[in-house]
Amino acid sequence: MTTGRRTRGKPRGRELDPAALEALRTLLGDEQDTPELRRRDLLIEHLHVIQDRHGYLALANLRALAAYMNLPMAAVYETATFYAHFEVVHDNQAPPPAVTLRVCDSLSCQLAGAQTLQHKLVEDTDPAEVRVIRAPCMGRCEQAPVVQINHRHLGYASPEGVEAVLDTGHFHPEAIDWQRLKNYRASGGYALLTECRAGEISVETLMQTLETASLRGLGGAGFATFKKWEFVRAEPGPRYCAINADEGEPGTFKDRYHLERLPHQFLEGALISAWAVDAKALYIYLRDEYPGLHRVLRDAIAELEAACLVAPGYIILRRGAGAYICGEESAMIESLEGKPGKPRHRPPFVAQVGLFDRPTLVNNVETVYWIPRIWARGADWLASQGRHGRKGLRSFSVSGRVANPGVHLAPAGITLNELLEEYCGGMVEGHQLAGYLPGGASGGILPAHKADIPLDFDTLQEHGCFIGSAAIVVLSDQDDLKAVATNLLAFFADESCGQCTPCRVGTEKMLALLENNEWNAAELERLSQVMVDASICGLGQAAPNPVLSLLRDFRDELAEQNLIVKG
């Protein structure tokens, strides 16, 4: 007796192409001979290798990768499509052109005319040969506007400049002049690491020094560094150390600045941090927008291994793939494990259950960068810096309407007015200060009459703002505040990982409300409260800050710009 139902003789979905699998083995290595290549945490690295070779990710290659790694195709596809820098091409689609122009649309670049530049590039290029798309902050805000041409970045970009680069056909990362190991050691570099490993300096002594120096996490949260070390050390081993170099906050570029100049000072601080928690391995998660720095760090790590200062393979450099959310520490951990970078529910915290479910110390680049210098100069040296009752130094990333944008190392607690006058050469000629973002896109906006507030942790909260990574974007009387708000909310809407409804839907809804010619303040404030209360992570919780700031401190300016605010 037959049931009338057909049975499938083949598995569902497209069949694996044996030729694609063989080509993948040639590209990555034979997984039968080297089974560690199947590790899930290598998925994103493998995706990068495939895309670097072909310029995109064909589904045939993803199916081959799934078979190669013994993973479900759904897992490979979900990861590949989560990250903005992976170009997945379906079977019925044509691959993208060989050249892609990514025009940065961050606030600093918008102020510098990026939108007009993008329209001009679209007009001047053949879409069959060159694709022009917008892209989020590339961490080069002091050079705005910025265009990325494949893997090469062009600062102060113009149509003529882009055309000149296209004519050369040179789309590789720009060369970086950095301090090599020999020169760093000649100035006393790695002496602290050597003494720590030899037992001449105890972890407790070093932690006391960092406490006295008031060193805090400089990626945004500002948590005391020695306390974070304590929490991780209290957990049973094995432990890991991970350095978050995914500075995607619009307006932030300080980590790039320090890494391009003194990568070994950073690496020494990172290795000391790993030593302090007896880490099994040290991971560095570097944003994909810094391809030149990938080469620098690879070479610097190779120098350390050749000099026997670190065991081969102890430092593991991983490459992000274009996801702002991976700046959140648990999302970064997920990405390091080869998964979509979605924040975890907490508790447990990553200090307890982090990378590979083991206790993990996560520090920012600049935080560990300071450790060797603090020890060399003494804790009192750093603690004695600062103004208006604050302690330490801050690397301020300054962009926008200033005469001298860039990274300015200045005393913690300096005010914006002091920073502008003493470090930034004042405002651009013809512009008057109207407001400023003290902590990047998520840190809120302050008006000109609040430019005398000390810029540091714990000084801005009463004004509805925070310093975060000290990314200062300066606005002038010639800037459209509605355009500023919509730019920032469009960024958050694009970068929401989509995991929780308050953030996923809330950012889109708020953006739609901001695009109206009339703002309903009560409605915006209610939506903001839902996002703050119910979002899983800081992205959704902080996304409303620019809007709330404008409603609180810029009502008159909004009215002058013909925007009606009700309520």
Over residues 110-138, the pLDDT tens digits come to 999 999 999 999 999 999 999 999 999 99
Residue 466 pLDDT > 70: yes
Mean pLDDT of the chain: 95
* Contact criterion met (CB below 8 Å) for 471 and 440: yes
Q: Is 121 exposed, middle or buried (0-12, 13-18, 19+ CB in 10 A)?
A: buried
How far is the C-alpha of 293 from the C-alpha of 312, rounded, in Å?
Answer: 20
Neighbour order of strands in the sheet with 446-447: 406-411, 393-400, 471-476, 433-437, 446-447
pLDDT of residue 222: 87
Residues across the chain: 567
* Contact criterion met (CB below 8 Å) for 79 and 339: yes
Q: Given pLDDT bands bounded at 50, 70 and 90, which one contains residue 342?
A: very high
CA dihedral 339, 345, 351, 354 (to 10 degrees): -20
Write out the two tokens for 70.
């013994």
Closest to 47 measured CA to CA, from 17, 6, 16, 75: 75
Identify the helix (H) or strand (E) that includes residue 292: helix 291-306
pLDDT of residue 4: 52
How far is the C-alpha of 263 from the C-alpha of 90, rounded, in Å?
Answer: 40
Sort residue 497 into left (φ over 0), alpha (ψ -120 to 50) or beta. Answer: alpha
Other beta carbons less than 10 A from residue 158's beta carbon:
15
pLDDT of residue 221: 81
Q: How far apart are the first and last CA of the chain?
A: 74
Residue 7 pLDDT > 90: no
* Contact criterion met (CB below 8 Å) for 474 and 401: yes
Q: Is 164 exposed, middle or buried (0-12, 13-18, 19+ CB in 10 A)?
A: exposed
Residue 1 pLDDT > 50: no
Residue 13 pLDDT > 70: no
Q: Given pLDDT bands bounded at 50, 70 and 90, which one contains residue 220?
A: confident
**Residues 16-27: pLDDT tens digits?**
999 999 999 999
Residue 412 pLDDT > 90: yes
Write out the two tokens for 441.
């896109």
Percent of the residues in the chain that have a pLDDT greater than 90, as a whole number: 95
How far is the C-alpha of 434 from the C-alpha of 556, rounded, in Å?
Answer: 12
How far is the C-alpha of 152 from the C-alpha of 170, rounded, in Å?
Answer: 8
pLDDT of residue 5: 54
Mean pLDDT of 490-514: 96
**Residues 426-456: pLDDT tens digits?**
999 999 999 999 999 999 999 999 999 999 9
Residue 356 pLDDT > 60: yes
C-alpha 8 chain-centroid distance: 46
**Residues 154-165: pLDDT tens digits?**
999 999 999 999
* Contact criterion met (CB below 8 Å) for 346 and 330: yes
Identify the helix (H) or strand (E) that includes residue 293: helix 291-306
User: What is the model's pTM?
Assistant: 0.95
Other beta carbons less than 10 A from residue 199's beta carbon:
7
